[in-house]
Chains A and B, each alone.
Chain A
Amino acid sequence: MARASRPLRTFALRLGGAVFVLWAVATLTFFAIHLVPGDPAQAILGGPGSQASQEALDRVRADYGLDQPLLAQYAAMLGRLVTGDLGTSYSLKTPVAAVIGGQLVGTLTLALLALVVAWALAIGLALWSTAPGRTARAVSGAVELTAAALPHFWLATVLIAVFSTGLGWLPPVANGAASGLVLPVITLAVPLAGFLAQLMREHLLDALEQPFTVSALARGETGAGIRLRHALRHAAIPAVHLSGWAVGYLISGAVVVETIFARPGLGRTLLRATELRDVPVVMGVVLVVAVVYVVLTVVTDVVAGVADPRLRRGGSTA
C-alpha cells in the first residue's frame, strides 16, 4: 500500500511546493513594487509626462481598484491569479499574457542556448584543467576564475567593440537572424561556464583519486577513457543539480544582455515595466520566470536521477 502511493505522494508534495513558491513570489513582488515611489494611476494614463487631470486620475483609481486598501488590492490580485488572469498592462493596454507570450520564446531560446554553450565550454575547461601538466592546470584555472568573475555588461561591451565595431564579423544588435544571437549567447554563457567548470574540476579531481580509477587504470583504460567514461559523469552530477538555478541566473542576466543588444525579450520587457510601474506586467514576468524555474528544477532532478541511479533508490546501501 505504502509502495503504490509513494510516487503519488512525491508528486503531491512537489506540486504543493511549486504552488507555495509561486504564492511567495507573487506576494513578495506585490509588496516590493508598492515600495517603489510613484503613482500607478499616472502610469496608466501615460506616465508622469502626460499631464493627466485630477478627474481622470480619480476615475482610473476607481476603475483599477487603486483606491482600495493595500490588503484588499493584494486579495483581488491573488483572486485574479488563481483564475489564471494575469491582468492587463497599464502601459500597453493589452493582456499581460499576450505581452509575455510574445517575448517568452526569445528569452528562453537565449537562456537555453547559453546554458548549452556554457556546459560545452565548462566540460572542455574542466577536462583541460585536469589534464596532466602544470601549465594546463595553471592556465585553465586562471581562465575559469576570470570567466566566472566577468560581469555581463562589461563582457557584452567588449564583445561588441571587438567583433562588431572592430572586426565587423557579427551584428551589434539583434536582427532576427541567427548571427544576431551569437554575441548575446556568448555574453551569458562565459561567466556561467567559468563557474560550472570550477565546480566540475573539483569533482573531476575527486573522482580521479577514487579507487575505481585505479581499478580502471589496472584494466588498461586510457587517461582520456578514465575522464570521459568515469570521472566526467561523477563531475556532471553536481553541475546538473545547479542547472535549474543557472537558468534563473541566465534569465536575470538576460535583462542586461537584451538591453545592451537591443533584443526583444522578457528581460527588456521587465526592465521597461518596472520603470513605468506597470505592475501587472512585472508580476506576470516574475511569475512566468518562477514557473520556468520550478519546472527546470524538476527536470534537473530527473536528469540527475538518470546520471546517478543511486538517487532513484533513495540512497540506501547494502
Chain B
Amino acid sequence: MTGTTQAAPAPTDAPVADVLAIEGLRVTFGDGGAPVEAVRGIDLRVGRGEVVALVGESGSGKSVTARAALGLAGAGARVQAERFELDGSDVRRATPRQWRRLRGAKAGLVLQDALVSLDPLRPIGREIGDALRLHLGLRPAAARARVLGLLELVGMPHPALTIDRRSGELSGGMRQRALIASALALDPPLVIADEPTTALDVGVQVRVLGLLAEAAARGAGVLLISHDLAVVSRIADRVVVLADGVVVEAGPTGEVLASPRHPRTRELIAAVPTDVPRGVPLLGAPATAGPSQPAAAPAVRPPAPTGAPPVVEARGLVKAFTVGGSTTVAVDDVDLRLERGRTLGLVGESGSGKTTVARLLLALTRPDAGTVRLDGDAWSELPERARRPQRRRIGAIWQDPFGSFDPRWGVERLLRDAIAAGGGAPGSAAVADLLDQVHLSPDLAARHPLDLSGGQRQRVAIARALAARPDVLICDEPVSALDVTVQARVLDLLDELQREHGLALLVISHDLGVVRHMSDELAVMRHGRILEQGPAERVFDAPEHEYTAALIRDSPRLAVGPDARRDPADR
C-alpha cells in the first residue's frame, strides 16, 4: 500500500475525535473490460476543528475522494474501504436513504465558484433553505429566518436583499459565500471544500478561506481540496499530497512545505510562481529532474531599446459600454508601451477592464478616444481592410483555448490554417516544427483538441499564435484555467519562446504572482484606470498604492516556517 501515510502522528496533546476516518479507500470506475482505478488505497482522517488539505494535480484522485466521502462517487463507481467512518458511524454499508440523512447534516460540500454551483433558476435563499427543509422539516417562513442568519454568518452584504437573488445576479465572491452558507446550514461536523477559491480574485480568495477557517474554529473538521498548495497552505493544519490515486506525502503543513520528501510534492511547491524571480524557470526539465535545483541562472534580459519606437504604444485609450441605459467606463485614459523582447504585466481584479485593453490593442474593439500605434505606425485608426494584412503581427492567447478552436478541426488543420494566414508554407514539416517549439510531440497533429488535456490545448493555442510569426503576443489570463504545475510549464514555455523570438509580451492576469514572475514592467489596473506602472521589482517591493499592496498581500504564496498556519481573516 502507500508507504508514507500518516508518518507524523497528530501533534495534539489530547486525541482528536475524527469526523472523517478513511483507511484503504479504493474507487474504481467502469466495469467489465477495463476498469479504471481512480483512487488506489488512500488513508485520510480529519479531526474536529482541523483543516486538512488534500492537494494534487487534476486526475490525482482528490475530487473523487471528496465525492466518495459524501457517498457521491457516482453510479458507475465502486467504492471499497477497510475503514470508512463519518462522524463516528461506519458508512461502508450505508444505504442510499442513510446517506441522504448524513449528507448536509453530517457533511457539507462547497464546490468551485461557478454560475451553476447553485441552481441558477432558484433564489439562493431557497437553495440554502433546502437543507433545513430536508433535515428539519422547517416551513418556508422559519427556514427564511434561519437562512438570513446564515447569510449574516458568512458575511453576505445585505442579506435581506440577496436572499431573493439568483446566482447569476451575484458576484463570484457572493456566490461562494452563499454556497458556504448552504454547506454550513445544519452546522455539520465535516465541511468538504472542493477547489473553493479557484477562479476567484485573490482578495475574495482570502475571505473565502477565512470563512472556512472560522468554521474550523467553531469545531468543524474541514477537508480542503485544491491543486494549488500555496492557496491551501494559508489555513491548513495538515497537508495530504495525492498523485495517481495514492497518497505520496502527508504531514503538518509547515513540515511538508519546509522539507518535502516526495518529488511530486517538490514539484507542487516549485510551481508556485509568486516569489520566483523573473527569468528563472519554475520547473526544470519536465517532471523527472524535479525543481530542487533551480536550473540555470536568470537569462540576461535585453535592455530596453533606446530611440526605437515601442512595438505597441497605446495613448489615452478610453472605452465605455452602454448596457440597458447605464454606461460603464471599462477603460479610462490608459497609456501602455510594449517593447521588443520584454514583458508588460497587466494585473487587476475581474471587471477592472483588462480584457477590454487586450481587445483595444488587438483592434478588435474601437476606442472611444485615444490611439494604438504599431511600430510607430497607425493601427487603431486604420480601416479594417488596411489593417488585415498587418494582423498577423499581433497574436493572442486566451484563457479558454478550447472556445477559440473550430470544434470540427484537428490540431494539424488548426495549425496549417494559422501558418497560411501568416503567409508561410503550411506543410507537415512546418506543423511539426511548431509543435516542437511548444514541446509537444508531432503525433499530436493527428489529434483533436477535444482529446487533449488543458495544458496541451494551451500549448496548441500558443503554437497557433506563433504560426504567423508575430512580433507581439497578447496573453489574456493564459494560465488561470490550468493546474499550478501545468501553469508553471506554460509560463516557462512563454518565457523561453520570448527569448528565442524576441517577442513583446503582454501578460494579463488577476494573479499577481504569475504576472510578477513573467514581467519586466508591471501595470496595476482598477475600475478601468492604471493605478500604477513601473519596473516589476519596484512595484512589487515598494508599491505606491494601497490597492497594489493589498493585491501583493493577498496573492497566494507558500507559508513556509514553523508557524505555517496564519489566520487569513486577520488582514
Interface residues of B (CB under 8 A from A): 67, 70, 72, 75, 100-105, 107-109, 111-112, 114-122, 127, 130-131, 134-135, 166, 168-172, 179, 182-183, 185, 192, 323-325
Residues in A neighbouring B107, C-beta threshold 8 A: 218
Residues in A neighbouring B323, C-beta threshold 8 A: 316
Q: 21 A-B Cβ contacts within 8 A? A: A6-B325, A211-B112, A211-B114, A212-B120, A215-B179, A215-B182, A216-B119, A218-B103, A218-B108, A219-B104, A220-B100, A220-B103, A220-B134, A229-B122, A310-B120, A310-B168, A316-B324, A317-B168, A318-B168, A318-B170, A318-B171
Residues in A neighbouring B100, C-beta threshold 8 A: 220-222
Does B101 lie within 8 Å of A220, measured CB to CB? Answer: yes
Chain B residue at minimum C-beta to C-beta distance from A226: B119
CA–CA, A214 and B72, complex, Å? 8
Which A259-318 residues have C-beta < 8 A from chain B? 307-310, 313-314, 316-318
**A215: which of B67, B109, B121 is its contact (CB, 8 Å)?**
B109
CA–CA, A219 and B102, complex, Å? 9
CA–CA, A307 and B179, complex, Å? 22
**Smallest Cβ distance from B223 to chain A, in angstroms?**
13
CA–CA, A113 and B108, complex, Å? 45
**Smallest Cβ distance from A236 to chain B, in angstroms?**
10
Does A308 lie within 8 Å of B121, measured CB to CB? Answer: yes
CA–CA, A12 and B130, complex, Å? 42
Interface residues of A (CB under 8 A from B): 2-3, 6, 132, 210-212, 214-222, 225, 229-230, 233-234, 307-310, 313-314, 316-318
CA–CA, A295 and B124, complex, Å? 34
CA–CA, A214 and B118, complex, Å? 9
Chain A residue at minimum C-beta to C-beta distance from B132: A219
Residues in A neighbouring B102, C-beta threshold 8 A: 220
CA–CA, A284 and B230, complex, Å? 73
**Smallest Cβ distance from B302 to chain A, in angstroms?**
41
Residues in B neighbouring A234, C-beta threshold 8 A: 121
Does B324 lie within 8 Å of A212, measured CB to CB? Answer: no
Chain B residue at minimum C-beta to C-beta distance from A4: B325
Query: A214-B72, A316-B324 given as contacts; is B120 within 8 A of A219 (CB)?
Result: no
CA–CA, A218 and B183, complex, Å? 8
Residues in A neighbouring B114, C-beta threshold 8 A: 211
Does B118 lie within 8 Å of A212, measured CB to CB? Answer: yes
Query: A3-B325, A310-B120, A317-B168 given as contacts; is B72 within 8 A of A217 (CB)?
Result: yes
Residues in A neighbouring B192, C-beta threshold 8 A: 218
**A219: which of B122, B130, B166 is its contact (CB, 8 Å)?**
B130
Residues in A neighbouring B116, C-beta threshold 8 A: 210-212
Residues in B neighbouring A318, C-beta threshold 8 A: 168-172
**Smallest Cβ distance from A214 to chain B, in angstroms?**
6
CA–CA, A267 and B121, complex, Å? 39
Residues in B neighbouring A229, C-beta threshold 8 A: 122, 130
Q: Of residues B103, B104, B116, B119, which shows the largest number of chain A Cβ atoms within 10 Å of its Cβ?
A: B119
Query: A310-B166, A314-B324, A318-B172 given as contacts; is B117 within 8 A of A218 (CB)?
Result: no
Does A216 lie within 8 Å of B72, measured CB to CB? Answer: no
Chain A, interface SS category:
helix
Does A307 lie within 8 Å of B121, measured CB to CB? Answer: yes
Does A217 lie within 8 Å of B325, measured CB to CB? Answer: no
**Smallest Cβ distance from B481 to chain A, in angstroms?**
16
Chain A residue at minimum C-beta to C-beta distance from B71: A217
Residues in A neighbouring B172, C-beta threshold 8 A: 318
Residues in A neighbouring B185, C-beta threshold 8 A: 219
Does B130 lie within 8 Å of A221, measured CB to CB? Answer: yes
Does B117 lie within 8 Å of A212, measured CB to CB? Answer: yes
Residues in B neighbouring A309, C-beta threshold 8 A: 121, 166
Residues in A neighbouring B120, C-beta threshold 8 A: 212, 310
**B104: which of A2, A6, A132, A218 is its contact (CB, 8 Å)?**
A218
**Smallest Cβ distance from B44 to chain A, in angstroms?**
18
Does B72 lie within 8 Å of A218, measured CB to CB? Answer: yes
Query: A132-B75, A211-B114 given as contacts; is B103 within 8 A of A217 (CB)?
Result: yes
Does A216 lie within 8 Å of B130, measured CB to CB? Answer: yes
**Smallest Cβ distance from A314 to chain B, in angstroms?**
6
Chain A residue at minimum C-beta to C-beta distance from B101: A220
CA–CA, A225 and B147, complex, Å? 20
Residues in A neighbouring B179, C-beta threshold 8 A: 215
**B119: which of A3, A230, A307, A314 is its contact (CB, 8 Å)?**
A230
**Smallest Cβ distance from A209 to chain B, in angstroms?**
10
Does A218 lie within 8 Å of B109, measured CB to CB? Answer: yes
Residues in B neighbouring A220, C-beta threshold 8 A: 100-105, 131, 134-135
Residues in A neighbouring B70, C-beta threshold 8 A: 217-218
**B134: which of A6, A221, A314, A316 is its contact (CB, 8 Å)?**
A221
The 4 closest A-B pairs by CB, nearest first: A218-B109, A220-B104, A2-B325, A219-B104
Residues in A neighbouring B166, C-beta threshold 8 A: 309-310
CA–CA, A220 and B186, complex, Å? 11
Chain B residue at minimum C-beta to C-beta distance from A223: B96
CA–CA, A233 and B122, complex, Å? 10
Residues in A neighbouring B112, C-beta threshold 8 A: 211
Residues in B neighbouring A307, C-beta threshold 8 A: 121
Residues in A neighbouring B111, C-beta threshold 8 A: 211, 214-215
Residues in A neighbouring B72, C-beta threshold 8 A: 214, 217-218
CA–CA, A216 and B100, complex, Å? 11
Query: A6-B325, A132-B75, A218-B109 given as contacts; is B103 within 8 A of A212 (CB)?
Result: no
Does B131 lie within 8 Å of A219, measured CB to CB? Answer: yes
Q: Of residues A214, A215, A230, A307, which shows the largest number of chain B Cβ atoms within 10 Å of its Cβ?
A: A215
Residues in B neighbouring A211, C-beta threshold 8 A: 111-112, 114, 116-117
Chain A residue at minimum C-beta to C-beta distance from B107: A218
Residues in B neighbouring A317, C-beta threshold 8 A: 115, 168
Chain A residue at minimum C-beta to C-beta distance from B120: A310
CA–CA, A309 and B170, complex, Å? 14
What 10 new A-B contacts, CB under 8 Å, besides A211-B117, A220-B101, A313-B169? A132-B75, A212-B127, A217-B72, A218-B107, A218-B192, A219-B131, A220-B103, A221-B134, A230-B121, A310-B168
**Smallest Cβ distance from A151 to chain B, in angstroms?**
35
CA–CA, A220 and B75, complex, Å? 16
Does B135 lie within 8 Å of A214, measured CB to CB? Answer: no
Residues in A neighbouring B115, C-beta threshold 8 A: 317
